[in-house]
């Protein structure tokens, strides 16, 4: 199938593109390169520079290129930034996301996998979190992801969109070709490694968690495992 990957030049997106190309799929990457990197796009995939929220641009892309399914990885994803500037997150994650859905609806694309977040659950009542746990996000980032998931549900009911949302917390690791390249780096593991090398310090927050030292325990998924999940989810949207 021919897959459009939004944010395919970013960390999670680029490794997912690798998995798709390796599986024999034709991949078109849509990325404005504001956070992604041109050289992270694996050979065999075609990079198109632009924003998924630019309706006219996406309309033209879909008119010129037959797309079977979409992997939507592009989004604003920093909790602190979302609290400081919620308008940015609603504009890009929600308004931009709906613009993408409208372009897909107009072009007849009915398959989408959404790289979502476990932040839609907020503070869960029990761990591990069940998929059917109540959605109660506690920050604009999680709220905008939940809002877009709601749009997917109603687009399915009204327009026949077949979608899967993958909710996960922290991503770590790298493929042989791609890893974390952020400026500034906001993820914990790269910053811990930098601190070990003597390039800065890592603040530790929290003193009252039910752990031996009172600090928080975080769960992680390897980026290649997430890429594989994206691939399987895309294949599962096939109505055949």
Per-residue pLDDT reduced to its tens digit, 44-76: 999 999 999 999 999 999 999 999 999 999 999
What is the pLDDT at residue 222? 96
Query: Please, which pLDDT band fits residue 105 given cuts at 50, 70 and 90?
Result: very high
The per-residue b/e assignment along 40-55, b for 16 or more CB within 10 angstroms, e otherwise, is bbbeebebbebbbbbb
Residue 40's pLDDT is 95
Which of the four pLDDT bands, split at 50, 70 and 90, describes residue 218?
confident
pLDDT band at 181 (very low <50, low <70, confident <90, very high): confident
Cα separation, 240 vs 229, in Å, equals 20
DSSP 154: H
Taking a C-beta distance cutoff of 8 angstroms, is the pair 6, 74 a contact? Answer: yes
pLDDT score, position 240: 72
Average pLDDT value for residue range 31-42: 94
Mean pLDDT for 196-223 is: 87
Q: What letter would DSSP give residue 200?
A: -
Point out the least confidently predicted range of 29-43, 149-163, 183-197: 183-197
Query: Does the annotation mark 141 as catalytic?
Result: yes
Give the pLDDT of residue 178.
Answer: 80
Please compute the mean of the pLDDT values over residues 169-184 and round it to a whole number: 83
pLDDT at 135 over 80: yes
178 DSSP assignment = -
Q: Tell me the whole-structure pTM to 2 decimals.
A: 0.92
Residue 200: the pLDDT is: 84
Looking at the chain, the number of H-run helices and the number of E-run strands are 8, 8
User: Can you read off the two tokens belonging to residue 95?
Assistant: 């308004």
Task: Identify the active-site residue in 89, 121, 141, 155.
Answer: 141
Q: Which of 14, 9, 19 is nearest to 234 (CA)?
A: 19
pLDDT of residue 174: 86
Quote the percentage of the chain above a pLDDT of 70.
100
């Amino acid at each position: 199938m021919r897959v459009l990957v939004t944010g395919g030049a970013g960390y999670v997106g680029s490794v997912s593109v690798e998995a798709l190309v390796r599986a024999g799929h034709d991949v078109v990457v849509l990325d404005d390169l504001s956070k992604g990197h041109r050289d992270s796009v694996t050979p065999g995939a075609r990079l198109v520079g632009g924003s998924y929220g630019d309706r006219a641009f996406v309309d033209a892309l879909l008119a010129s290129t037959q797309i079977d399914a979409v992997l939507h990885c592009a989004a604003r994803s920093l909790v602190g930034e979302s609290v400081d500037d919620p308008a940015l997150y609603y504009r890009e994650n929600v308004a931009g996301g709906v613009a993408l859905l409208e372009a897909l609806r107009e072009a007849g694309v009915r398959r989408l996998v959404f790289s979502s977040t476990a932040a839609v659950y907020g503070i869960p009542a029990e761990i591990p979190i069940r998929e059917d746990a109540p959605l109660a996000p506690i920050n604009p980032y999680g709220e905008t992801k939940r809002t877009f998931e709601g749009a997917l549900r109603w687009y399915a009911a009204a327009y026949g969109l077949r979608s899967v949302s993958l909710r996960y917390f922290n991503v770590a690791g790298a493929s042989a070709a791609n890893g974390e390249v952020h400026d500034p780096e906001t993820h914990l593991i790269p910053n811990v490694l930098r601190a070990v090398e003597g390039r800065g310090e890592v603040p530790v927050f929290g003193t009252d968690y039910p752990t031996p030292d009172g600090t928080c325990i975080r769960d992680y998924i390897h980026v290649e495992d997430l890429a594989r999940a994206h691939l399987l989810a895309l294949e599962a949207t096939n109505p055949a």
